[in-house]
Homo-oligomer: A and B are copies of this chain.
């Protein structure tokens, strides 16, 4: 780097000595890696979805000590393929039906490559103006695509767990007049209460613990027949808490519960939240993407009255993990909750810009807006809608198949992309059905052809099929059905 006219001449990208991987070395192996990724994306359906490995299988093939001397990139890439890849669960697989989708796409990966190369930390505007301003723009694009209220301002968080925690902290601070931040919670006043349905995600309880509310102050609100929050029960529980001198603080509604994509009714809940001065957060981690479709936008009816909202482009919007979109109606409350302004982070333009470090928990921030921008532009709104619409149609086809077969029992409504059901030949109790369905699920997943997971709804063990991977099409649903029937047959009449 000593020649200012031609600084490129000897710039080492890797170590200065020995095994340096300079720009040309990066170029060479970069092309190899791109070809591997392209092949992988093309061929991913040839892999077993769930790798056939036992605990420790991967670890025991890796040295216990770091190498003293640098190794050639060829060896590292070979070990990646020979040691790591056999232990990978293929979330990109078109027959990944487990948990929730974490779908991905070419433009997203391209954006992530550039983000990794730039390596910026967008903690303040000055530390990368483009990262801050692009994030402001793409978050507003998303806000419009979901028809969220105009006052909402957006910020990208890593995951919905973090978004939920941010909402809980805003709620705590608003309720205490920012006394929680100042004086802390110990010894201060009556418990603050948080309300969520029995079907809310585990991150709600985790956030309630982290923020100092305590699990005992997370009130589980009953659900109706569709597994959605019962607003009547919410009101009753708030009244009960008030009668006992507790302080109602926050309600978290879920649009698309993890187990069955149940839809809490935002309007009636917002009415109650407003009456009692609760912060209302909406966790739409998976299902938010469905609101892109005019015919599904009703799932967010009432969102115009809530305080904060999050959904994950990394789940069902073709943006590789992680990328969670968090919107807040009161950015001033969010900022006041999180702002710390040490001298070494002050800049001359702090009054004119967004410094996203004050919009969440971690100071450091990756340039996630880049991949999201690539996805939104390369798909276009209609491209996104087309894929989400196809997934929703496939889920209805799968539901109809379950309902058409006497040996299966549908266990929840299917408003979106997730089907909960069980094998139920009749005449057996829930415990015996759980044993049999557990064995059935193990046999299905051992096939490597599909990967499904389970949940429990009202104590009943369910098999879940969650549809939303980028490459999932009708043939994959048909293969899932065949795989389930084959596993059932292989287990025999006693299962």
A41/B55 in contact, CB under 8 A: no
B119/A383 in contact, CB under 8 A: no
When the two chains form the complex, which single residue of B19, B117, B126, B380 contacts A37, counting CB atoms closer than 8 Å?
B117
Chain A's interface: helix, strand, loop or mixed, by majority?
helix
Indicate whether A413 reaches chain B with its CB closer than 8 angstroms.
no
Count of chain A residues near B, Cβ 8 A: 197
A13/B442 in contact, CB under 8 A: no
When the two chains form the complex, which single residue of B56, B92, B382 contacts A133, counting CB atoms closer than 8 Å?
B56
Indicate whether A62 reaches chain B with its CB closer than 8 angstroms.
yes
Q: How far is the CB of A55 from chain B (nearest CB, A)?
A: 4
Q: How far is the CB of A66 from chain B (nearest CB, A)?
A: 4
Instruction: Give me 7 other A-B pairs in contact (C-beta within 8 A), A18-B386, A21-B107, A104-B117 excluded.
Output: A1-B94, A15-B387, A26-B41, A26-B109, A66-B138, A92-B117, A184-B217
A106/B187 in contact, CB under 8 A: no
Q: A67–B373 Cα gap in the complex (Å)? A: 10
Contact A112/B116 with A84-B370, A380-B68 known, Cβ cut-off 8 Å: yes
When the two chains form the complex, which single residue of B76, B116, B464 contacts A377, counting CB atoms closer than 8 Å?
B76
Contact A62/B137 with A41-B11, A84-B370, A185-B186 known, Cβ cut-off 8 Å: yes
A92/B71 in contact, CB under 8 A: no
A110/B187 in contact, CB under 8 A: no
A24/B12 in contact, CB under 8 A: no
Q: Which of A201-218 contact B (CB under 8 A)?
A: 201-203, 205-206, 208-217
Binds B, one of A222-230, A344-352, A403-411: A344-352
B344/A464 in contact, CB under 8 A: yes
Most buried by B among A15, A161, A182: A15
Q: Which of A335-383 contact B (CB under 8 A)?
A: 338, 340-345, 348-349, 352-353, 361-364, 366, 370, 373-374, 376-383
Binds B, one of A42-50, A235-243, A303-311: A42-50
Indicate whether A489 reaches chain B with its CB closer than 8 angstroms.
no
Q: A1–B93 Cα gap in the complex (Å)? A: 11
Indicate whether A430 reaches chain B with its CB closer than 8 angstroms.
no
Find the B residue at minimum CB distance from A379: B15
When the two chains form the complex, which single residue of B65, B184, B377 contacts A212, counting CB atoms closer than 8 Å?
B184
When the two chains form the complex, which single residue of B17, B186, B216 contacts A213, counting CB atoms closer than 8 Å?
B186
A80/B114 in contact, CB under 8 A: yes
Q: How far is the CB of A50 from chain B (nearest CB, A)?
A: 7
Q: Which residues of B contact A384 (CB under 8 A)?
A: 15
Indicate whether A453 reaches chain B with its CB closer than 8 angstroms.
yes
Q: A179–B191 Cα gap in the complex (Å)? A: 13
Q: Which residues of B contact A45 (CB under 8 A)?
A: 1, 7-8, 11
A67/B159 in contact, CB under 8 A: no
A76/B374 in contact, CB under 8 A: yes
Binds B, one of A148-156, A264-272, A293-301, A468-476: A468-476
A161/B110 in contact, CB under 8 A: no
23 pairs across A/B with beta carbons < 8 Å?
Answer: A7-B45, A14-B383, A19-B383, A21-B105, A24-B38, A30-B109, A33-B114, A36-B114, A41-B117, A55-B349, A70-B380, A70-B383, A76-B377, A91-B127, A98-B127, A184-B185, A187-B191, A202-B341, A203-B362, A205-B340, A206-B363, A210-B361, A259-B343
Indicate whether A432 reaches chain B with its CB closer than 8 angstroms.
no
B126/A117 in contact, CB under 8 A: no
Q: A294–B381 Cα gap in the complex (Å)? A: 56
Q: How far is the CB of A180 from chain B (nearest CB, A)?
A: 6
Q: A33–B118 Cα gap in the complex (Å)? A: 12
Indicate whether A192 reaches chain B with its CB closer than 8 angstroms.
yes
B121/A321 in contact, CB under 8 A: yes
Q: Which residues of B contact A471 (CB under 8 A)?
A: 1, 11-13
Give per-residue flags for A109-147: 1 if the beta carbon is below 8 A from chain B beta carbons, else 0.
110111011111100011111110110111011101100
